[in-house]
Structures are given as C-alpha cells and as structure tokens.
Chains A and B, each alone.
Chain A
Amino acid sequence: MNLMCCETETLKRAYEDPVLLKDDRVLQNLLATEDKYMPSPTYFKCVQTDIKPYMRKMVAQWMLEVCEEQRCEEEVFPLSMNYVDRFLSVLDIPRTRLQLLGAVCMFLASKLKETSPLTAEKLVIYTDNSIRADELTDMELLVLNKLKWDISAITPHDFLEQILCRLSMDKEKCDVIKKHA
C-alpha cells in the first residue's frame, strides 16, 4: 500500500485503520461489489473445450508454490486465482496456454498489490522456461482486455479483517485465524 514515494528498505505497513474497520459502509460496499468480480461457475462446461478441473487444480498448486516461495503478499494468490477463473469464464484456451495464464495472473496481481512485484524473468524461470518473457507481456495485455482492466477484485481475503474486528475475540486468536486463513 505504499502510495507515496518514500523509497525505504523496510516495508512499512498500514496500521489497522478504524476509519475502514469500524464503518459499516465499508463492509456493505465489499458485499455489494463482490458479485461483480465473480467468475462463472459453469465455465468448464460452457466455455472451455480442452481444460478440465484437475488441470486448474494443478496450475493452482503451482501458483501457490510460487507465491509462497517468493513470499508474496497474502492477497496475491487469491487475487490471481480470481483472474484465472474470470479469464477462463470468457475465453476458451488450450491446456498448453494454462500455465502461461497462471503466470500472467500472478504477474498482474503482484503488480497491483506489492511494492516490489514478481519480475517477468522470475516467472519465466518458474515455468522451467516453457514460456518466454514476450509471451508473458503479450498475454498480459490480452488478460487486461478480457477482464476489462477490472482487476482490483474483491476476494475472500478482503473480508477477513472486517469480520474479525466484529467478533469479540482476543488478539491472539485473531492472529491464529489470520495465519490459517
């Protein structure tokens, strides 16, 4: 969330902001907006001709590994899965392009959420060089166009703090929940 231009080595985090947590309008907006970012639940049947659910699972596991190994911000993985599902809801692609799609979605989510995002080079290496950097950037434009640039999506992760602060639970328990979320 580093919007200003202070180039510091240590990552400063925003503190828990009562303006955002104590105001019910925020939660209501999240609930009202969430629908707009929902993928189609039937895309395996209605859109995809080659890709099967188990392939999505495989690419999701690979993406989670990359995000964990690169210590990405927690929201990067759920956000990139949101892009994968929404893209697959609108365009039929062959299985050979699925890993490229997964890489691009992490690329985008990371640029949206992180101060030092995943680089194209790293992502290419994680695919064992099965994709090229120029394929990644070309696909990035296609994904942005297909998602209509609407990539500041609401994910389950956004509700976590909002719900936790409304439960009367001690801080330790909250931390445990956040860790396992």
Chain B
Amino acid sequence: MTSRRDGLEQNYEEIAVIGNGAYGTVYKARDLKNDGQFVAMKRIRIQNTEEGMPMSAIREIALLKQLENYEHPNVVRLLDVRHTDHTASEIRLMLVFEYVDQDLSTYLEGCPPPGLGPDRIRNILVTSQGTLKVADFGLARVYGFQMALTSVVVTLWYRAPEVILQAAYATPVDIWSCGCIFVELFNRRPLFCGQSDIDQLSKIFDILGLPPEDDWPENVSLPWNSFKAVPPQPLEQFVPEIDNDAKDLLEKLICFNPHRRLSAQEAMNHSYFRDDLDSLRTSSSLSVSEGESFETDGRSDTPSKHGGS
C-alpha cells in the first residue's frame, strides 16, 4: 500500500511548472476527465511522523473541503486531494485546484503598490474576468515545519489582545486582524509591530489607550494594572490618509473589548464599504462578486475613497 496511485496520474496531464518552493512544485495541468480544462496541480511533501499525517495538514485540508460546499466566488476551488506516495519520513500529497491565470502581482504588473512586494500577494489570484480569489488558505502550515517559527512572529502583529492575554476568544479575533490589515492598506506598513507578547500589548495600548478595568478579561494571568495607564491617541495621527468614514470603521474593528467589536456582516454594511463599492463599480475594472450585503443605492460616480495613490 506504500505506493497507491489510484490511477491519478492518468487523470491529469502536466503542461508546465508554474511554481517551485520548499514544499514542492505547482504545475499547470489538464484535467483529462473534464474536457481537458486547466487545473493547478500542487505536489507537496509533508514530513511523516510516528503519529502519521500531521494534525495541521488534516485540519487545513478538511477545512478547505468543507468550504467547497459553499462555492464561495472569491475562494479558489479545491477539486481533488490524493496522497500519491509515502515513506517512513515523507508523505507526498497532490492537491488539484481550479486554475486561475494570474496572481495579483501579475495583474498589477508594472505598478506594484509600494511596500506590497510580490511575496505578499502571491496568494491572491485574479481571473480573466477580474474576480479576486483567495488561494492557499493556511496551507502554508501544511507545507512545512520550516515555516513554523516565522509565522508565529508575523501573526503576532495581527493577533487580537484577548488571544495574547490567553483569555477565551471567538470570531472577533479575525475582525481585529482585518482592522490591522485595513490600516496597513493605508500606511503600507503594519500598525502594531511587537517583538514579544507583552511588547505587542504595549504597542496596542500606546495607540488605543489602556482599556477601562471593566473591559479587562477575567481569569487572565496578566493583571490590568501591570500596564501603564495611557490615554487613547487620535487614530488619524497613525493613519494620516484616513477619512472619517474609514476611521469610524477602524475604531469599531480594533476595539479592545471583543464583545463590542463589529461582526463581519456588520462591517460589510458599514457606510465606508457602501460608498466604496459605488466608486469601484463605476471607476475600476475590478468586479466584486455580488453578495447579499452588497446592494448599492445607485448613486452616481464618486471619487475613490482611498487616499493612497
């Protein structure tokens, strides 16, 4: 059973190598079972252990498979997953994805926004119709153990305070991260660049101010009074290009108390996005997929709200 191939090799015909990394190789291929339509075939190597398939690979791929049920227009389809081979030290997997012609870097060719290097946007693809698609959801963690250390540091900058404080947490942690990235779109650099957990919290409070004691989560080992009481700073001081609508949204995304942070749906309905969509529709070739919370009210062309050039 060490070399089960399940006739997989006959299903797909490799055409060209389109990517190469520590984790393996990505090919452009034809799906011979489906009229030869193009697919992106990723061959990845995973470290085998006595515990079999690593937990991270199981979780990420199972989650991607579950997401498939919803056929989200902005998520790259995962068409097939197989294990092709394994030895005592290595498991080889093949993941077959929908093929998308270009990533965001290629799409923006010639005019990459300053600070957004090609590394940063490789996981966002753009179809020939101009629809954005997110690829490689957390698959970085599947690809390899060698990435583990750096990702811990990087994600710290986007980590919600309740996670750093090791309090109970839920979906608001993602909204916090979105708020941090929202700022980064204006500033082209991260907002809270902490070197350690404590440093990260201090950097957050330097801007948001130390929250009232009532907002401090229960049963956490770091007491509220271990931080200096500092007042909140006006956000526009740190995000000079922000306008009032965006500032209002930002304040509700990076709110210290997770129970008062906006939900994703509430954020989508914020006036910032409504105006923004109107201008996107009329002034840009990027199309945004229709969603239930995306109705526009048919206002005429307004200039783009993003101050950044």
Contact = CB atoms under 8 A, between A and B. Distances in A.
Interface of A: 4-6, 8, 12-15, 17, 19-20, 23, 29, 32-33, 36, 107-108, 111-112, 117, 119-121, 133, 136-138, 140-142, 144-145, 148-152
A115 to B, nearest CB: 9
Contacts of B111: none
7 contacts: A12-B169, A13-B168, A133-B50, A141-B1, A141-B91, A144-B83, A150-B62
B292 to A, nearest CB: 9
A161 B172 CA distance: 19
Interface in B209-250: none
B170 A151 contact: no
B144 to A, nearest CB: 15
Contacts of A19: 170-172, 263-264
Interface of B: 1-2, 4, 6, 48, 50-53, 55, 58-59, 61-63, 65-66, 69-70, 80-83, 86, 91, 152, 155, 159, 163-164, 166-173, 263-265
A15 B164 CA distance: 16
Contact of B86 (A17, A36, A112, A141): A141
A137 B62 contact: no
Contacts of A137: 48, 50-53
A151 B63 CA distance: 8
A148 B163 contact: no
Contacts of A20: 170-171
Contacts of A144: 53, 58, 83
Contact of A12 (B52, B53, B82, B166): B166
B69 A117 contact: no
A111 B69 contact: no
A120 to B, nearest CB: 6
B53 A141 contact: yes
Contacts of A17: 170-171
A132 to B, nearest CB: 12
Q: Name the 10 nearest CB pairs between A and B, nearest first.
A: A137-B52, A17-B170, A152-B62, A152-B66, A150-B65, A149-B81, A15-B168, A19-B171, A111-B55, A140-B52
B41 to A, nearest CB: 16
Given A19-B170, A112-B62, 12 more contacts: A4-B173, A12-B166, A12-B168, A17-B171, A23-B265, A36-B69, A108-B58, A133-B50, A144-B83, A145-B6, A145-B82, A148-B65
Contacts of A151: 58, 62, 65
Interface core residue of A8, A148, A150 (most chain B CB under 10 Å) = A150
B66 A33 contact: yes
B87 to A, nearest CB: 12
Contacts of A112: 55, 58-59, 62
Given A4-B163, A112-B58, A117-B55, A152 B65 contact: yes
A121 B159 CA distance: 35
Contacts of B168: 12-15
Contacts of B163: 4, 6
Nearest to B80: A148
A145 B4 CA distance: 10
Contacts of B172: 19
A141 B83 contact: yes
Nearest to B82: A145
